[in-house]
Amino acid sequence: MKIFIGTSSSYLIYKKVKNKTVIDINRTKNQGKLSKIIKILKAQNHDVFPWWDEGTLNGGEILIDNLIQVANKCDAGIFILRKDDILVNNKDGHEIGVPRDNVLIECGMYLGLKGKERTLVIKDGDYHTIKIASDLGGVLLKDIDDTDLESSLIKFFDNKKLNIESKKTKFYLSNTNTDNILNQEFKKWSSKALYIGSKSARLWEAFENEKDSEKTLLDKEEVKEFVEKIDKSTNITIDYTKINNVISLGPGCGKFDNEIVSKVFSKNNLLKYIPIDINPYYAYKASKYVKKKSPNIKIPFAIIEDFEENSEYVTDLLKNKIHDLKQSCLFLMIGGTFSNLEGDEENVIVKIKSWMDENSYLIVDVFIKPEDYTFAKDDKRQVKELMKSEFYNDFIINSIEKRHVINDEDYLKKVKNNLSTYLIGDEKSKVNTYTNVNLTSVVTYDLKINDSNNKEIFVVKRYDFKQIKKFLEEHFLILESFDGLNEGKQTQLKNGGLYKSERGIFLLQKK
Q: pLDDT tens, 450-495?
A: 878 899 999 999 999 999 999 999 999 999 999 999 988 777 766 6
For residue 311, CA distances in Å to 175, 296, 314 come to 11, 29, 5
Beta-carbon count within 10 A of 268 CB:
18
The pLDDT of residue 78:
92
For residue 401, CA distances in Å to 192, 193, 395, 423 come to 15, 11, 10, 14
CA distance 86 to 89: 10
Strands annotated E in 402-488: 423-427, 441-450, 453-462, 476-483
Element (H, E) at 202: helix 198-210
* 79 touches 121 (CB < 8 A): yes
Per-residue exposure over 469-486, b if at least 16 CB sit within 10 Å of its own CB, e if not: bebbeebbeebbbbebbe
Size (the chain), residues? 511
pTM of the model: 0.71
CA distance 10 to 17: 20
DSSP state for residue 7 in the 8-state scheme: -
Q: pLDDT tens, 166-222?
A: 456 788 888 888 888 888 888 889 999 999 988 998 998 888 877 655 566 667 778
Q: Is the pLDDT score of 18 beyond 90? A: no
Beta-carbon count within 10 A of 157 CB:
20
Q: pLDDT tens, 236-285?
A: 878 888 898 999 999 998 989 988 999 899 888 888 999 999 999 999 99
Closest Cα partner for 37 from 48, 27, 29, 28? 48
Element (H, E) at 274: strand 272-277
Q: pLDDT tens, 63-104?
A: 676 777 788 778 889 998 888 777 777 777 777 777 888 888
DSSP state for residue 463 in the 8-state scheme: B
CA distance 222 to 494: 18
